[in-house]
Amino acid sequence: EDQVTQSPEALRLQEGESSSLNCSYTVSGLRGLFWYRQDPGKGPEFLFTLYSAGEEKEKERLKATLTKKESFLHITAPKPEDSATYLCAVHDQAGTALIFGKGTTLSVSS
C-alpha cells in the first residue's frame, strides 16, 4: 500500500535555528514527490516537485532533497513567517491522485 509518513508532527524552533523535516514514502515507480505549505485556514500552497533521487530544489530559506526512500525539507535560519504546516505528497499508482502525509507543523519564535 502506498504510504507517506512525515516526522516530526510538530517542531518548535527559535528564529535562526536551522532544522529539517522528514517525509518517508513507499510507492512503486515514483513519478514525483511534492511539498506544500499550508497556513491556518488556507489551502495548500505549492513549494516543490522532486522527480528523482539526488535531486535538490531551493526557494529562499527552504531546500528540498530526495532519496529513494525519503525526502527532507531543510529550513535554514528560519523566520517567524516560516511558521506553517508543511505537507508532503506522492502520487498513487494510477498517477492520478496525490497521497498526502499528515504534515509537520512548524512554529518559529523570535
Partner 1 sequence: NAGVTQTPKFRVLKTGQSMTLLCAQDMNHEYMYWYRQDPGMGLRLIHYSVGEGTTAKGEVPDGYNVSRLKKQNFLLGLESAAPSQTSVYFCASSYGPTPETQYFGPGTRLLVL
Residue numbers at the binding site for partner 1 (CB under 8 A): 4, 31-32, 34, 36, 41-46, 49, 51, 87, 89, 91, 95-98, 100-103
Q: How far is the CB of 19 from partner 1 (least distance, A)?
A: 22
Please state whether the peptide bond connecting residue 8 to the residue before it is cis, i.e. omega within 30 degrees of 0. yes
User: Could you tell me the smallest distance in angstroms from the CB atom of residue 32 to partner 1?
Assistant: 3
Shortest gap between Cβ of 77 and partner 1 (angstroms)?
A: 27
- The C-alpha cell at 20 is 529539517
> CA-to-CA distance for 107 and 92, rounded, in angstroms?
30
Residue nearer to partner 1 on the CB measure, 36 or 78? 36
- Tell me which DSSP letter residue 57 carries: E
Nearer to partner 1, 14 or 96 (CB): 96
The nearer residue to partner 1, 64 or 78, going by C-beta atoms, is 64
In the bound state with partner 1, the residue whose beta carbon lies nearer, of 18 and 93, is 93
Question: Please, what's the b/e burial string for 36-72 (b: 16 or more CB within 10 A of its CB; e: otherwise)?
Answer: bbeeeeeebeebbebeeeeeeeeeeebbbbbeeebbb
